[in-house]
Amino acid sequence: MDVYHKILTRIYEITGGKDSVEVDLNDLLKQEGFFSNIDNISQHLLTESWVAETPRPSVVKITHWGTAEAKRVITNTPDVQRELSKEANRLLADSRELIIMLEEFAASPSEKHFKTIEKKFEDLGAIMDRVKGNI
pLDDT above 90 for 1? no
Decide if pLDDT at 110 tops 90. Answer: yes
20-28, long-range: CB within 8 Å, 24+ apart, which pairs?
20/61, 21/61, 21/62, 22/54, 22/56, 22/59, 22/60, 22/61, 23/51, 23/59, 23/60, 23/61, 23/62, 24/58, 24/59, 25/58, 25/59, 25/60, 26/58
Q: What is the mean pLDDT of residues 45-52?
A: 94
What is the DSSP code (8-state) at residue 59? E
Chain segment 63-82, per-residue pLDDT in tens = 999 999 999 888 876 667 77
Helix or strand or coil: residue 22?
A: strand
Q: 134 pLDDT band (50/70/90 cuts)?
A: confident
Which CATH code of 1.10.1760, 1.10.10, 1.10.3470, 3.40.50 fits the domain covering 3-75? 1.10.10
Q: In this predicted structure, what is the pLDDT of residue 81? A: 77
According to DSSP, the residues that pair with 24 across neighbouring strands are: 59
- What Cα–Cα distance (Å) separates residue 107 from each residue in 75, 100, 110, 112? 51, 11, 10, 13
Mean pLDDT in residue range 84-88:
88
